[in-house]
A = this chain, B = another copy of it.
Amino acid sequence: MKRILTGIKGLDDMLDGGLPSSRFILVCGGPGSGKTIFGMQFLYNGATKHGENGLYVSLDESPSHLKEDMSAFGWDIESLEKEGKLAIIDASPIRTIPGEVKIGNFSIGKRDFNLLSLVEIIKKNVKEIGAKRIVIDPITSLILQYPDDSERRNAILDLFEAITDLGATCLISTELRATALEREIQAEEFLSHGVIVFHAFNDGGRLIRAIQIEKMRGISHDHQLRPYKIHENGIIVFAKETVLTNT
A125 within 8 A of B: no
Enumerate chain B residues within 8 angstroms of A184, measured Cβ to Cβ: 177-178
Enumerate chain B residues within 8 angstroms of A48, measured Cβ to Cβ: none
Q: A179-B185, A205-B244, A207-B224 are in contact. Are A157 and B92 (CB under 8 A)?
A: yes
Contact of A179 with B181 in the complex, beta carbons under 8 Å? yes
Enumerate chain B residues within 8 angstroms of A145, measured Cβ to Cβ: 150
Enumerate chain B residues within 8 angstroms of A65, measured Cβ to Cβ: 23, 193, 217-218
Contact of B220 with A72 in the complex, beta carbons under 8 Å? yes
Contact of B190 with A245 in the complex, beta carbons under 8 Å? no
A189, B33: Cα distance in complex, Å: 12
Enumerate chain B residues within 8 angstroms of A95, measured Cβ to Cβ: 154, 157
Contact of B193 with A185 in the complex, beta carbons under 8 Å? no
Enumerate chain B residues within 8 angstroms of A1, measured Cβ to Cβ: 68-69, 71-72
A93-109 to B contact mask, C-beta < 8 Å, 1/0: 00110000000000000
Enumerate chain B residues within 8 angstroms of A164, measured Cβ to Cβ: 62
Interface residues in chain A, defined as those with a beta carbon under 8 Å from any beta carbon in chain B? 1, 23, 30-32, 36, 60, 62, 65, 68-69, 71-72, 92, 95-96, 138, 140-141, 144-145, 147-150, 153-154, 157, 161, 164, 175-185, 187, 189-193, 195, 202, 204-210, 212-220, 223-225, 230, 232, 242-247
Given contacts A138-B190, A180-B182, 4 further A-B pairs with CB under 8 A are A179-B182, A205-B208, A206-B242, A207-B223
